[in-house]
Chain A
Amino acid sequence: MIKEENYLKNLAELCLSKSKSFGSTDSNVVVSNTVSESVNIRNKKLDGSERSENLSVKLTTFIGKKKASISSSNLKEKNLEDLVKRCVEATKITPDDELNSLPDKDLYFVGDKNLNLYDDTHIENEQKINFIREAENVAFSNEKIVNTNGSGFSETKSNFVLANSSGFSNGYKTSNFTAYCEVVSKSNGSMERDYEFSSRRFFNDLMKPEEMGKNASELAIKKLNPKKIKSEKISIIFDKRVSKNILSTFANCISASVIAKGTTFLKDKLNEKIFNDKINIVDKGDIKKGIGSRYFDSEGVEVKELNLVKDGILNDYLIDTYYGKKINKKSNGRSSGTTNLYFKNGEKTLDEILNSSKKVLYINETIGRGANIITGDYSVGASGVMVENGEFTNPVSEITIAGNFNDIFKNLVLADDLEFNFSTNSPTMLIEGMTVGGI
């Protein structure tokens, strides 16, 4: 099973001391170990199993303001020594960069680790197969479900230690249980696929297989026999699976790296209103059992709760040490990105949003990476269902939706149905005045 903290700490210490002996003035190392076991089934039959074991080291060495790094999974002592040497040699010939340094000492995480991120339950493969087979059984109980794209269950346990030459040395175990069921529906020559998915730190918190199978089959059937529609300006509702992507794009636009380089349309927007005043965005690293929870970032800096957007106003950036220096701000522990990022609930019910106009387009899937964070332009492929007078009518596919985030952010309205299923979460979202491209 996974290596214990002492084993990882020893390896980390070895890397730090060797770096020093080869001439580094500072160094930072991550030693991580992951063991993962998964099964896949298809049409209720076993399709495959996978077991994965990985132990690796990532080392960064500094000489004054010079920096270079190596990573390796070949941890035989001789090889490790050669690599550390190579790293220090590379550091020597890399140009100085004034911004290179370890974090300020007062920012390191020192607290208790009590977030419940590790469940040592081990689910035997047989049990995994039964779990996911149950989901497919339920999905197949509808005759329109004719096939599966595969369903699976994986269990992952990880442990890591982060140590640096400033004396920081800490790490912790995490676990993850993930199940998914992806089915294919067919009717009148139309074939569609959809899925349900659940990922949790603790096995007992996973969505039950019956619910998973039922949701997957309902979603796949709902998409059957879609129509194309005419191009028009129309209000759009983003299902929670899609609305969270809008939030991820927002996060990409406010990382210190793009702010410092000016490669984001949100540069110079700090303390300005970029959403309407009902919108609040939080990044909270200390949610118990949270999928995105962590104690410290990849530099060891404590992860504090951030109110990124307050009453529509951009209130903070996601900051690491390097780019923080460039924009004269202290790291707020986001060198590994966001933690549990979410929109706070809006005031409308889902029903109110569905009835917000006579005709709205409910989007449950987008395809393609169509967000340009420099210009804020957005254009993606999509499929969904028309909603007329609050009722779901016919499915729609092979359309595009486009707009600009400046407008999207100002116009979006949120429902009150936030759930924490991913590391980034959003309630259902209504956006007025998007352009739909069709026939």
Chain B
Amino acid sequence: MSNFFKDTDLDLKKAEKLVSDTLHNCDDGELYLEDTKSESIVLDDNKIKSSNYTTDIGYGFRAINGDVVAYSHSNEISEKSLINSSKNLKSTLKNTKGTYNYEIKKTNQKFYKEIDPIEEKSLSNKILLLNKINDYSRSIDSNVKQVTANFLGEKKSVEILRSGGEILNDVRPLIRFNVSIMVEKNGRKETGVYGIGGRQSYEDYLKNDNWKRVCEEAYRIANTNLESKPSPAGEMKVVLGPGWPAILIHEAVGHGLEGDFNRKKTSVFHDLVGKKVASEGVTIVDDGTLDNRRGSLNIDDEGTPTEKTVLIENGILKNFMQDRLNARLMNTRSTGNGRRESYKHVVMPRMRNTIMLNGKNTQEEMINSVDRGIFAVSFGGGQVDITSGKFVFNCTEAYEIINGKIGAPIKGATLIGDGPSSLKEVLMVGNDMMLDPGIGTCGKAGQGVPVGVGQPSLLIDKMTVGGTQI
């Protein structure tokens, strides 16, 4: 079953013994093995700019005692290397008297197939298609001056060896297809970016010329922005469209509900469980179990099966997202949110697919109710300061709302809000929940992991808009 020790001086038995010996008297820990193949092909400026294939294999050996984590990782899988790591872990954790928790829930759940998306479509076919995408995008409008398109495919195999000989496995395919289009008209330039992806093969996303829709969407955003006028500045009502704008939820409350910040009491939410943190009608879940979604996992990177975790129910804070370490220290259970970017990174509680569920209102009602505000449809990225709760996100497509009607497009602006108060400012929750198209990557402490978001349209009473017009 395990391929990790092939062509090495190790076998499963030796590795298991080393793991058990090292983690003896520790509270937790494991040997995490990972084998990742990835391929990136970029078309830029009418040419195949790069074609890169990467293989990365290695291990991360972790020992935990109390609240202290010792971690050692290397890309050399050998007995000598593992013994060195074991020594390094023991030098941090001296005289431990922990009790190893052997229990980890078993699962047969599968939310994606064990495929290798890279090999399912040949390199020449990918190059052919990228050229077609380039031609098609440029044919939409003579104002299209630049097209960048890329395919990113990955197959990540992980194996987790726990003390006592328990072994957990997962094989995770992932693909992403992105198009960026720059248009130029009367000396003015704007770009639009759109992409799709998830844990299926390329064909599942690109069939029936579905890629054309991605090009058209990127073009539509760019073209809309050509007509955009300077954005207003100051506090106003904001209507968010469904789907991708849910990075608001990811930034405003998601990060603040990760177990580590709350155990350490550095999150503004740490003492708010059971309290009202959002308007009535606001229910938010973090779900790792959606079929083929970018943020879904069969098991997390500690081996815990993922689940649908209710974070906020009808405005009341219910649960934090936990990995094993923070769960143990907070006397609760792991919610299957223990993730790491790769074997080179420590585990942290991270989001999966973070979603606000449907309410009752229509988007039309929301827009009609606003005298002066903005309607934000698409976003670049976001960021949050967990401690102060302040978060931002950057609009890439937005419109002014005047007297209940959608007006002119406005230039990309940053929106800033306060996490704990912004969800209390939600005036209406829409009935049009949508998931994002599958391109999100979340960064935390230098680690990027694939995530998803989703939400219905939302009306927020006030947020500060970072425009130039007062």
Residues of A within 8 A of B (CB): 39, 42, 45-56, 67-76, 78-79, 83, 86-87, 90, 93-95, 97, 125, 147, 149-150, 184, 191-193, 223, 228, 230-233, 260-263, 265, 367-370, 372, 374-375, 377, 379-381, 383, 397-404, 435-439
Interface assignment of B141: CB less than 8 Å from any CB of chain A: no
Q: Interface 1/0s, chain B 381-416, versus A by CB < 8 A?
A: 111111110111110000000000000000111111
Contacts of B75 in A (CB 8 A): 53-56, 73-75
| Contact A263–B182 (Cβ < 8 Å) | yes
Q: Give which listed residue, B45, B54, B188, B231, contacts A260 with CB less than 8 A.
A: B45
Contacts of A147 in B (CB 8 A): 264-266
| Contact A370–B470 (Cβ < 8 Å) | no
Contacts of A95 in B (CB 8 A): 47-48, 127, 131
| Contact B266–A261 (Cβ < 8 Å) | no
B contacts with A, residue count (CB < 8 A): 80
Minimum distance in angstroms from A100 CB to a CB of chain B:
9
Minimum distance in angstroms from A34 CB to a CB of chain B:
10
A selection of 16 A-B contacts at a CB cut-off of 8 Å is A45-B67, A48-B71, A50-B70, A51-B85, A70-B52, A70-B53, A94-B48, A125-B91, A231-B235, A367-B391, A369-B383, A372-B412, A380-B392, A400-B465, A402-B233, A437-B466
Q: Which of B263-321 contact A (CB under 8 A)?
A: 264-266, 268
Interface assignment of B210: CB less than 8 Å from any CB of chain A: no
Interface assignment of B369: CB less than 8 Å from any CB of chain A: no
A263-B180 Cα distance, complex, nearest whole Å: 11
A-B CB proximity, top 5 nearest? A400-B466, A381-B392, A437-B233, A368-B392, A73-B75
| Contact A367–B411 (Cβ < 8 Å) | no
Interface assignment of B57: CB less than 8 Å from any CB of chain A: yes
| Contact A377–B412 (Cβ < 8 Å) | yes
Contacts of B412 in A (CB 8 A): 372, 377, 379
Contacts of B268 in A (CB 8 A): 191
| Contact A232–B470 (Cβ < 8 Å) | yes
Determine the residue in chain A with the shortest Cβ distance to B466.
A400
| Contact A74–B233 (Cβ < 8 Å) | no
Q: Give which listed residue, A53, A68, A374, contacts B182 with CB less than 8 A.
A: A374
Contacts of B165 in A (CB 8 A): none
Interface assignment of B123: CB less than 8 Å from any CB of chain A: yes
| Contact A49–B57 (Cβ < 8 Å) | no
| Contact A83–B50 (Cβ < 8 Å) | no
| Contact A369–B394 (Cβ < 8 Å) | yes
Task: With A51-B72, A233-B470 given, name 9 new contacts (CB 8 A).
Answer: A47-B69, A48-B68, A48-B69, A53-B81, A95-B127, A231-B235, A260-B45, A375-B189, A379-B231
Query: Do A369 and B56 contact each other (CB < 8 Å), given the known contacts A47-B67, A400-B464?
Result: no
| Contact B91–A437 (Cβ < 8 Å) | no
Contacts of A46 in B (CB 8 A): 68, 92
Contacts of B234 in A (CB 8 A): 230-231, 437-439
Contacts of B68 in A (CB 8 A): 46-48
Query: Do A381 and B414 contact each other (CB < 8 Å), given the known contacts A47-B68, A90-B51?
Result: yes
Minimum distance in angstroms from A41 CB to a CB of chain B:
10
The A interface is mostly helix, strand or loop, or mixed, namely: strand
A49-B58 Cα distance, complex, nearest whole Å: 18
Q: Give which listed residue, B54, B76, B266, B416, contacts A149 with CB less than 8 A.
A: B266
A223-B131 Cα distance, complex, nearest whole Å: 52
Q: Give which listed residue, B233, B346, B391, contacts A50 with CB less than 8 A.
A: B346
Contacts of A233 in B (CB 8 A): 470
Minimum distance in angstroms from A328 CB to a CB of chain B:
16
Interface assignment of B124: CB less than 8 Å from any CB of chain A: yes
| Contact A71–B464 (Cβ < 8 Å) | no
Minimum distance in angstroms from A244 CB to a CB of chain B:
18
| Contact B387–A192 (Cβ < 8 Å) | yes
A419-B69 Cα distance, complex, nearest whole Å: 36
| Contact A381–B346 (Cβ < 8 Å) | no
Query: Do A380 and B344 contact each other (CB < 8 Å), given the known contacts A261-B45, A400-B465?
Result: no
Contacts of B266 in A (CB 8 A): 147, 149, 184, 191, 193
Query: Do A53 and B74 contact each other (CB < 8 Å), given the known contacts A72-B56, A95-B48, A437-B464?
Result: yes
Contacts of A97 in B (CB 8 A): 47-48
Contacts of B413 in A (CB 8 A): 379, 400, 402
| Contact A367–B57 (Cβ < 8 Å) | no
| Contact B92–A437 (Cβ < 8 Å) | no
Determine the residue in chain A with the shortest Cβ distance to B260.
A150
Minimum distance in angstroms from B345 CB to a CB of chain A:
9
Contacts of A230 in B (CB 8 A): 234
Contacts of A263 in B (CB 8 A): 146, 182, 189, 191
| Contact A78–B387 (Cβ < 8 Å) | no
Q: Interface 1/0s, chain B 336-359, versus A by CB < 8 A?
A: 000000001010000000000000
| Contact B382–A368 (Cβ < 8 Å) | yes
A125-B386 Cα distance, complex, nearest whole Å: 29
Determine the residue in chain B with the shortest Cβ distance to A72.
B55
A79-B35 Cα distance, complex, nearest whole Å: 13
| Contact B264–A149 (Cβ < 8 Å) | yes
| Contact A438–B235 (Cβ < 8 Å) | yes
Q: Give which listed residue, A53, A72, A374, contacts B189 with CB less than 8 A.
A: A374
Contacts of A69 in B (CB 8 A): 50-53
Query: Do A262 and B382 contact each other (CB < 8 Å), given the known contacts A47-B69, A69-B51, A147-B266?
Result: no
Contacts of B465 in A (CB 8 A): 400, 437
Minimum distance in angstroms from B64 CB to a CB of chain A:
9
Contacts of A70 in B (CB 8 A): 52-55
A52-B81 Cα distance, complex, nearest whole Å: 11
| Contact B55–A74 (Cβ < 8 Å) | yes
Interface assignment of B467: CB less than 8 Å from any CB of chain A: yes
Minimum distance in angstroms from B277 CB to a CB of chain A:
16
Contacts of A398 in B (CB 8 A): 390, 416-418, 464
Interface assignment of B220: CB less than 8 Å from any CB of chain A: no
Determine the residue in chain A with the shortest Cβ distance to B184.
A262
Interface assignment of B468: CB less than 8 Å from any CB of chain A: yes
Interface assignment of B24: CB less than 8 Å from any CB of chain A: no
A3-B75 Cα distance, complex, nearest whole Å: 14
